[in-house]
């Protein structure tokens, strides 16, 4: 079992560009959540997908959008990148809404 | 939203000593989870304790939960240098779905 995999591991983008991050959940998991973690801070919840629908959303602007595919894999898209979007983006998958989450190793996004 | 607040922010001990971290939260929960994060990497689930449990063990980890005080503690016994990491608690309430909300964590440093 490969666990949760994220790609790419590192990414450098220019302010104003758009970026897509990808996540494959752990086998058997149907729920995918995305988190943003700034340096020295705890992860902040962006949104969660279940059955291809956005089920919950955190306090992030509409520039952050996502998608979940029938195979449960997911994408996080960020438009009009700002310098402040530089962070570690974490994907987590789970099977049930009240069980433990499994995290990927994250994508380090740097906006210059 | 249901957020855990970890205390202390930082903890430095010698190898072989015990480390205790605390977590406080504000509303009723279904369960509370503890995670570890090594620098710049994904979070690793450590232990989940349900609201009807008072204590749980996993190897060198011991977690307690006091729902009347809305607090939890994580004890790591006989610490090792490899335990150096940030530790986060995530209370999961009836209204939070499976959305994990993290505080800033406790940065544990175990000195050889």
DSSP string, A4-33: -EEE-SEEEE-TT--EEEEEEPPTT--EEE
Residues of A with CB below 8 A from B48's CB?
Answer: 99-100
Q: What is the mean pLDDT of residues B79-98?
A: 88
Please state the φ and ψ torsions of residue A85, each to the nearest 5 degrees.
-80, -5
Residues 6+ apart with CB under 8 A from A90: A6, A34, A35, A36, A37, A43, A103, A104, A106, B42, B43
Residue B54 has pLDDT above 80, yes or no: yes
Q: What percent of chain A has pLDDT over 70?
A: 97
Q: CB of A94 within 8 A of CB of A35?
A: no
The number of C-alpha atoms within 13 Å of A47 and in the hemisphere containing its C-beta is 21
| CATH assignment of the domain containing A18 | 2.60.40.10
Nearest Cα neighbor of A73 from A16, A1, A6, A19 is A6
Q: Per the CB < 8 Å rule, is A100 touching B33?
A: yes
| Residue-level pLDDT at A99 | 81
Task: Give the minimum alpha-carbon distance from B9 to chain A in angstroms, rounded to a whole number.
Answer: 11
- Measured in whole angstroms, the distance separating CA B30 from the mean position of its chain's CA atoms is 16
| Residue-level pLDDT at B90 | 93
Residues of A with CB below 8 A from B99's CB?
Answer: 33, 45, 48, 56, 58
Query: What tokens does A106 get?
Result: 């994250």
Q: What is the mean pLDDT of residues B46-65?
A: 97
Q: CB of A23 within 8 A of CB of A34?
A: yes
DSSP string, B43-93: EEEEEEEETT-SEEEETTEEEEEETTTTEEEEEE-S--GGG-EEEEEEEE-
Q: What is the mean pLDDT of residues B74-92?
A: 96
Q: What is the mean pLDDT of residues B38-61?
A: 95
- Mutation pick from A29, A32, A100 vs chain B, by most beta carbons of B within 10 Å, is A100
Q: Per the CB < 8 Å rule, is B92 touching A31?
A: no
Question: In the predicted model, what is the mean pLDDT of chain B?
Answer: 93
Residue B74 has pLDDT above 80, yes or no: yes
| Residue-level pLDDT at B39 | 87
Q: Residue A40: which domain range?
A: 5-111
| Residue-level pLDDT at B51 | 94
Q: CB of B42 within 8 A of CB of A105?
A: yes
Q: CB of B34 within 8 A of CB of B89?
A: yes
Mark out chain A residues that contact chain B at CB-CB < 8 A: 4, 31, 33, 35, 40-45, 48, 55-56, 58, 88, 90, 92, 94, 96-106, 108
Instruction: Tell me whether strands A19-24 and A53-57 are parallel, antiparallel or unpaired.
Output: unpaired
Q: What is the mean pLDDT of residues B77-87?
A: 97
| Residue-level pLDDT at B97 | 66
Nearest Cα neighbor of A31 from A8, A9, A55 is A55
Domain total in chain A: 1
Q: CB of B16 within 8 A of CB of B76?
A: no
| Residue-level pLDDT at A97 | 65
Domains contained in chain B, CATH given: 5-111 (2.60.40.10)
Q: What is the mean pLDDT of residues B34-53?
A: 94
Chain A, chain B: beta-carbon pairs less than 8 Å apart: 66
- Which positions of chain A have pLDDT values less than 70? 1, 97
pLDDT, tens digit (0-9, with 9 covering 90-100), for A3-16: 999 999 999 999 99
Q: Per the CB < 8 Å rule, is B97 touching A48?
A: yes
Residues of B with CB below 8 A from A94's CB?
Answer: 98
């Amino acid at each position: 079992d490969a666990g949760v995999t994220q790609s790419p591991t590192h990414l450098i983008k220019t302010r104003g560009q758009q970026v897509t991050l990808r996540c494959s959940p752990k086998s058997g998991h149907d729920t995918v959540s995305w988190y943003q973690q700034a340096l020295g801070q705890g992860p902040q919840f962006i949104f969660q997908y279940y059955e291809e629908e956005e089920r919950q959303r955190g306090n992030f602007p509409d520039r952050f959008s996502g998608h979940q595919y029938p195979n449960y894999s997911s994408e996080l898209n960020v438009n009009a990148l700002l310098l402040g979007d530089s962070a570690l983006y974490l994907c987590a998958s789970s099977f049930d809404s009240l069980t433990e989450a499994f995290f990927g190793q994250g994508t380090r996004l740097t906006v210059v | 939203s249901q957020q855990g607040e970890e205390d202390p922010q930082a903890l430095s001990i010698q190898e072989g000593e015990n480390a205790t971290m605390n977590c406080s939260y504000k509303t009723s929960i279904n369960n509370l989870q503890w995670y570890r994060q090594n620098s710049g990497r994904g979070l690793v689930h450590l232990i989940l304790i349900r609201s009807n449990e008072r204590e749980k063990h996993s190897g060198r980890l011991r977690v307690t939960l006091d729902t009347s005080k809305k607090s939890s503690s994580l004890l790591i016994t006989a610490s090792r240098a490899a335990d150096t990491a940030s530790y986060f608690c995530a209370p999961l309430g009836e209204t939070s779905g499976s959305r994990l909300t993290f505080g800033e964590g406790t940065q544990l440093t175990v000195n050889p």
